[in-house]
Structure 1
Amino acid sequence: MNRDDEALTAKIPADVEQPDKILYGLTARQVAILAVTGLLASWGYMAMADRLPFTVVATVLLPVIGGGAVLALARHDGMGLDRFVLAALVHLRSRKARVEAPEGVQAPPAWCRMRGRLPAPLRLPVRAVREDGVMELADGGTAAVVRAGTVAFGLRTAAEQAALVAAFGRWLNSLEAPVQILVRARPVDLSALVAQLIEAAPRLPDPALEQAARDHAAYLADLDASRELLTREVLIVLRDTAREQQNITLPWTKSKARRVLRDAGAAVVARRAEEAVRSLAVLGVTAEVLDAAACTAVLAESLSPADARLPEAAGPGELISAAEGL
């Protein structure tokens, strides 16, 4: 085979979280749903066969059989329809209004008549962001975020593309903990770049270069004002397995043992994030581990992408003050 026609493939192990197939390519949940559907259809047929015409029995039982088959075999966005329906029912029954109340939402006094339901406390999956950028999760684990760039894959030769795919496959095969790769589009603000060009223009050695820089800044300002610019952002979230190790007996109190496990998990996930940065550098991908400020900004943008960015938060040792005009 010609090297230019080499298939761009890499062998990756199967997803171990996929449920096992036990019968005719069906999972245990699918077999259970189909079995219950078959029992209901059989019971309905035996109960109505002697009393109603066959057409009426078929009209009653066919929707039951079809609904059970669709519920067991159909999928929505990669999720089994039975799980999707269960999640939809939980969503409909849950409270939609959430408020920041770690201590819980207090009920109104007895003399107060309230219409509707009380809001539920907001439970975010991230408990805190450490100074090194590692996130402490609400379930007891930790996670780190790596921001990665992209490569011009289509501009590479076939041999270079095959090498990139093979190197990326080796990195995926080296992973030993859950990793999430998120590719999203986010708005671009060119005001900082425009201000930087205008500030640097007077220092250029030639008047023609200065004028070119100002023209380019004006073009970028007009582009920023007249278009909704988007950029592609790739985020890699690496998690640790501290939550799975919390059942280990340690000679400390429960709170201290939880803190020790969280600190150990933070060190492990930070090391894995650095290893991911080095592995992606082999592919020519520029990557960086997000610090506390960048990680907080990413979380704020993900919770409210349309709102303005939050102001920078002060560090633990910084003085918080405000100056008011007289």
Structure 2
Amino acid sequence: MSQSVRIPADVDREDRILAGFTARQVLVMAVTALLLYGGWQVTRAVVPVIAYLVVAVPVGIAVSAVVIVRRDGVTLDRLLLTAIRQRLQPRRRVAAGQTPAEVPDWLANVASSADGPAPGRLELPATGVAEAGVVDLGSEGVALIAACSTVNFALRTPAEQEALTAAFGRYLHSLRACLTWLV
């Protein structure tokens, strides 16, 4: 006799390995704990335990909070790394193969290269935009620009869901005519 097994709907979710924490969270907290313990071992002959705890406890709480707290489903440590990576990227982008335009005098002190990285190359796969929001991607094909509502599909009534599905189907069927018109 076979036994049914529940498969979670969110297969992209990280596995929880210890007390509801993921392997990455456990690793970061364990490394922090080892570093704090090692710091205590090195300084215990010089620094009283209470003085060390005054420094170590807030550090441990801060690291745990950064690893555990989530904003929009992303942990704060990942958001912090993304912010640092974004800060190190060039602020101005120019199309690949072009030189950056001259910055006006009134904006020179804000946009100077001394404040940040030099303009970087902006490499887009698009080679052009045709009518009706069709983006030509060269040898990769084409892409279509579409506007979408922010209202969740599941929150709509069944009649609205049917109408939206039918309209979207008609829209997709019209793309064949649009794409043959482009070619």
On whether the aligned pair clears a TM of 0.5, the verdict is yes
Match of 2:69 among 63, 71, 74: 74
Gapped regions of structure 2 (runs ≥ 5): 1-7, 101-111
Task: Tell me the equivalent position of 2:5.
Answer: none
Partner of residue 122, structure 2: 122
Superposition misfits of 4+ residues, deviation over 4 angstroms? 128-138, 140-150
Q: Tell me the percent identity.
A: 30
1:133 offset after TM fit, Å? 6.7
Using the TM superposition, give the Cα deviation of residue 26 of structure 1 relative to its aligned residue in structure 2, in angstroms: 1.3
Q: Structure 2: how far apart are the matches of 1:41 and 1:34? A: 10
2:108: which partner in 1?
none
**Structure 1 counterpart of 2:35:** 40
**RMSD, aligned CA:** 4.4
Counterpart position of 1:8: none
Q: 1:24 is matched with which residue?
A: 19
User: Contact 1:99–1:121 at 8 Å: present in 2 too?
Assistant: yes
Whole-angstrom CA distance in 2 between matches of 1:316 and 1:141: 11
- Distance in 2, Cα, partners of 1:123 & 1:15: 33
AA at the equivalent of 1:123: E
Instruction: Pick one of 75, 83, 91 that aligns with 2:78.
Output: 83
Instruction: Give the structure with the higher percent helix.
Output: 2
Q: d(CA) in 1 for partners of 2:85 and 2:39?
A: 29
Q: Distance in 2 between matches of 1:137 and 1:29?
A: 38
Which structure 1 residue ranges, 5 or more long, are not aligned? 1-12, 107-113, 165-279, 295-314, 318-326
> Hey, what's the Cα distance between the residues in 2 that align with 1:93 and 1:30?
25
Aligned pairs (5 A) from 1:1-326: 14-101=9-96, 103=97, 116=114, 117-124=117-124, 127-128=126-127, 161=157, 164=158, 283-285=162-164, 286-287=167-168, 288-289=171-172
- Change in CA separation of 1:127 and 1:20 when aligned onto 2, cut-off 3 Å: farther
**Larger of the two Rg values belongs to structure:** 1
**Residue deviations 1:92-150, cap 9 Å, x none?**
1111111112x3769xxxxxxx95342111234x5356889776779x69765555678
Greater shift in the superposed pair: 44-53 or 114-123: 114-123
Aligned counterparts of 2:137 and 2:22: Cα–Cα separation in 1: 31
CA shift, 1:65, in A, is: 0.5
Higher relative contact order (CA 8 A, sep 6+): 1
Does the aligned pair in 2 maintain the 1:105–1:119 contact within 8 Å? no
Per-residue CA distance 1:9-43 (angstroms, 9 max, x = gap): xxxx6222222222222112111111111111111
Code of the residue aligned with 1:119 in structure 2: it is P
Judged with a 3 Å threshold, the aligned counterparts in structure 2 of structure 1 residues 88 and 283 are, in CA distance, closer, same or farther, namely same
Q: Which secondary structure state, in structure 2, belongs to the residue aligned with residue 121 of structure 1? A: strand
SS in 2 for 1:34: helix
In the superposition, the TM-score normalised over structure 1's length comes to 0.37
- TM-score for the superposition, normalised by structure 2: 0.61
SS in 1 for 2:58: helix
Structure 1 residues 25 and 145: CA distance shift in structure 2, 3 A: farther
Aligned positions, number: 152
Decide whether the 8 Å contact of 2:133 with 2:146 is kept in 1: no
Residue identity opposite 1:283 in structure 2: E
